[in-house]
């Protein structure tokens, strides 16, 4: 009997996770074909390839391997002109909030709303979403992986001169402090 119950729980969990993935995938698919949106999809294979590149510095090599090796995919959907950003933000947020994401940070600045949310299991981040909606701007970023380390992403982005990851260092410190 225990085996049957355990099997049923595992099947339910797998179906639940799959349904969550499909809901977000449908949102991306709905707008990805629209030429007025910028859609970026980076597969896990690309991160594997980047992670296997040889670096001159052993510390950088380890940092890249550890952080990028855990990422399975990155999807970005952006529209900056002729968009009702608050409406798209609300549409995406209603979908995301039904999927058991935990909010890490929420910012309202002038006309922009920003939310950073995660799904985690055993204190490892498996899904990271950044959602931005403003008067003439909409951005949805989804990073999927297995044990994504925000602090490592921040350090890597700093080394590579990438902007926009500054908040992740603060988030990682606050998560570890709890």
Q: For residue 21, what pLDDT is reported?
A: 60
Total number of domains constituting the chain: 1
In the 8-state DSSP scheme, what is residue 119? Answer: E
Give me the half-sphere count of Cα atoms (radius 13 Å) on the Cβ side of residue 18: 6
Beta-carbon contacts of residue 140 (< 8 Å; ≥ 6 apart): 27, 28, 75, 76, 77, 78, 92, 129, 130, 131, 132
Q: For residue 160, what pLDDT is reported?
A: 59
Compute CA distances 145 → 34, 81, 96, whole Å: 27, 31, 17
Q: For residue 169, what pLDDT is reported?
A: 53
Q: For residue 22, what pLDDT is reported?
A: 76
* pLDDT tens for the chain, residues 1 to 178: 333 322 233 333 333 343 446 778 888 888 888 898 999 888 888 877 777 777 777 777 777 777 777 888 889 999 888 888 888 888 888 888 778 888 888 888 888 888 889 888 877 888 989 899 988 889 998 989 888 777 776 666 666 555 455 555 555 555 555 5
For 13, counting Cβ atoms within 10 Å of its Cβ (0-12 exposed, 13-18 middle, 19+ buried), the class is exposed
Domain that holds residue 138: 2-177
Alpha-carbon span 178 to 26, nearest angstrom:
34
Alpha-carbon span 11 to 19, nearest angstrom:
12
pTM: 0.73
């Amino acid at each position: 009997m225990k085996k049957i119950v355990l099997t049923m729980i595992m099947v339910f969990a797998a179906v639940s996770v799959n349904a969550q993935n499909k809901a977000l995938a449908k949102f991306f698919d709905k707008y990805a074909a629209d030429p007025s949106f910028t859609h970026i999809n980076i597969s896990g294979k690309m991160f594997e390839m980047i992670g296997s590149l040889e670096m001159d510095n052993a510390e950088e090599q380890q940092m890249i391997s550890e952080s990028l090796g855990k990422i399975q995919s990155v999807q970005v959907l952006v529209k900056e002109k002729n968009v009702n950003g608050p409406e798209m933000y609300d549409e995406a947020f209603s979908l995301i909030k039904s999927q058991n994401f935990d909010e890490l940070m929420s910012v309202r600045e002038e006309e922009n709303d920003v939310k950073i949310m995660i799904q985690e299991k055993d204190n490892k981040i498996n899904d990271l979403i950044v959602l931005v909606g403003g008067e003439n701007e909409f951005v949805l970023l989804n990073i999927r992986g297995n044990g994504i380390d925000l602090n490592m992403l921040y350090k890597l982005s700093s080394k590579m001169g990438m902007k926009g990851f500054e908040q992740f260092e603060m988030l990682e410190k606050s998560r570890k402090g709890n």
